[in-house]
Structure 1
């Protein structure tokens, strides 16, 4: 009886182990067990044939998909085209295979191990019985285990993406990347820390960093779930508040004249427009949170599967993939605090003599306050960038980008970080805009009719850029949702620097352009049709401009080696100069209002305070900074870029000293 109970328990344990991995081995498109599993950059995995069909449908909707990219079917993160595919089949076959999923599938395909068989009966053979001195046969209890079947253990072979026939059996500690022997010869000759993959991954499952990563993953997932729940509750509350406001409006309508009916209609239209905008914003925030939730949940599933089923080597590989995704999620949750605020309506009824002075029935205000649900989470390991002043930070290089095409060097004169973390650069030499994703991989190129100079963000959903043509300059408006040009503004003169504020464009222009810009220059304000509203400054050479508010407009004066700060009325607040600043070009501001300016001929980048006080030189020739053209800060983080000569763009992050 005891042996039967043991047999049942063993079968249940084995069944639970198999069921734990079932969910990860099901394709989210066809809902069947994976066939040739392939994964996307967001780590979501699909059958190769399912991905091929999905890409075909995307191509049928938009023929440019093969050259641009498509969205992940699960989290909708953009997957850029590798640029060398001729068909959906070719693209799907080039995607990397998911070795972890294959390992889980191999384990599931094995026959369930039978428990040890206990034999308690007496078998009349000399082999299974012993005879004592008196000649009596003693009973022997025999325990037989099923023999291990040869060839049933799943094998995992990690192959190098660059050298298809080579195994990944080394790990470069300098670059924190696995590599093969050919990679070592080609790319890691000068690296000091090179180990075998087994040595690097030894004991990774028990390391404190792995346990900390698991804790961070769970905490972030909990935080995202709380935010999602709060957003859904906020949407329901706003619906109820909207209904209450409409009832109040109806009660006002009952006792007044036909004139009031018209005002009611106007007010309801205003409410609907305002409500529509708030609902769109909230649903957009909800959608972004849901995407984050799907990504984090998928990461947690992958991590749990690794802990249960993967080898140390495979877990080590997966952990390196998860780190960058988790850092992105943490940065997003830490930086975009405004997206966690609640929104409520406040309705005020007009009080007074309606017949004599009634012009409207009231107004609806939007009140934003921190969400209680997110405030309660005090132990979530979210890294804050606001606790340390950027004045006390130093730049650490993160990435080097190159826009060089063949033998032609490029010059980047302007660039901006988009609200979703991507980077948009103006390639002045090759008449194009270059879009990089959050991992700084080229996502797409946008050809433009001329040589772009400067870029500015317009209310999060659009961007504007200048093209300084000789006869007639252009300001072009780019829709950031579909990356299409949607408007063109013409101006009879050369436009260079560009900034957008309160519905106006602040630009720099040359009226008499000569060698080294030795002409007459101005800082002017244009409306959205290109008409001049006012002239703020006139000098010899002004180039880049940044508008922060009506009281803060900064621009560089090439001729006097100066940065000016003026108001929208043209009143100068102060000007900044330094003995080592020579030929100022690009400038930008960080989230604290500190100003950064590139010295093109002094090979340096200067930082000064919002009051015009010199703080320090953050980059110079000793860092390899040569001829910096443009600089741009991501106000939602501590990142910034600097474009240099020879087509080089450096990405930095400000970190505590």
Structure 2
């Protein structure tokens, strides 16, 4: 039965361009499956690529997924026309127009004649007026095409199929006729001949599509979409509640800070009055003591002056006998006075009033009023490397970064990489394999592994371990013979990032957990992090560095956090690399940069990811005792081999 008009109206959002907010005109879709009008996406592409002289692509306006055009010689103005047509949306638009009695004859429309259509060709997917329908039936090539009355479709008496005939994405002028089961890809005959001639399971598209709507694959996918949609809805609501809570909490904290400030000021006022009272009391005590000393010695001075006057008068006006009498009187008294004077002078102390601020007040004043502190900065000597028997100095802090080789390890998806024995091993999320390359970028060998490998770490000289996210497994691979050795099932332990400790213990990270587990799958320890703990790295098998929040990375030794590096220019930390000089490199996936910090968490420099000719850095690893390192992209499948001078 045809879809009723009221049901078709439910698809209005699906048929509306998110840029112009109008019904699609020439709908074109991106690899992320978001659809836009061709004119709208063209305008967007041109405006977004003007900022870069040599643009390699653009980001989807909705989900920001990068669409690469680096291998296309066309100018950005031509990119929109090369995007595939969304035939499903086109068919939905046709069907809605039919249901609303708005469908015009496609043949007449070409000649700017807007005649209403009366029939629909299920093969050509075109509507015709009465005259064009007769012409369509009169041609040999289309004489046997099935025409359905539009009235029948509108009444619901015809089972009109949408997109019954599909155009090939690779060759739009060709019709999809076969389906390659080996690659899960619909193809035209040209695709089948050129790209799938060696495939063993190529069947007709009709056979491949039979029962697909009721298949377990479709129902399971719908169920998964519903579940994820529900989870995301709950998450969004949770974050909205969290946002509201943050707003409320912030206002409350601001009030608390103001209250605390007033309390501190009031307390300081009390302390000020107390110290003033103590100063007044101390001053009174000191003044009394000093006054007593002044009075005592003033009395001594008066006595001496009197004796001096009496003796001088007897000498000048008295007789010799009178003078003798005064000398005999004053002499003994003078001896007594000198003893008293000496005793009182020994008691004299210079008194003053001093103020010593308390330890807390002194620190508070320094922390608030200080210009800063003077430190002696001692830069570590740059690392050195033996090259050809010569000692080469490597300036990791300021050295130039040179791209040695570019490797297209996959068409898309996340990659992780590691250096082992003069070779580079790369895991591909999209290809579900681990590949082996020489250090000059040449492909050597590949091994298929379970779906979706995320990280790779060295176990010993010839063995690596690979984490399989979603299935919570660790695979062990021989790097010489490139064969699978064994599988470790981490039941109940989520795994994403992987780090091997002394060959028998592994540290696995995922989301907001970091777990230590041994080769017997015994959980040794588990720590909770602030999130974004996708990868973990170690420098000496004792301390661990991992993402600890959306813009932070922490270094932990045992159970002690040595530092947490936070930077507003770091967003979505992923892979973490360490050079032989101990410097740490953090791949900022969303911030599109790499943060280079010292081993104690001090920023050295922020390196734009454009330096590596990538768009989003995913992992970064250094070769042992080398200035060579590798950076992988988060979605393009590109790997770049570099070195620092």
Question: Higher relative CO (CA 8 A, sep ≥ 6), structure 1 or 2?
Answer: 1
Q: Tell me, yes or no, whether TM beats 0.5.
A: no
Give the greater-gyration-radius structure (CA): 2
TM-score range (shorter-chain normalised) is 0.3 to 0.5
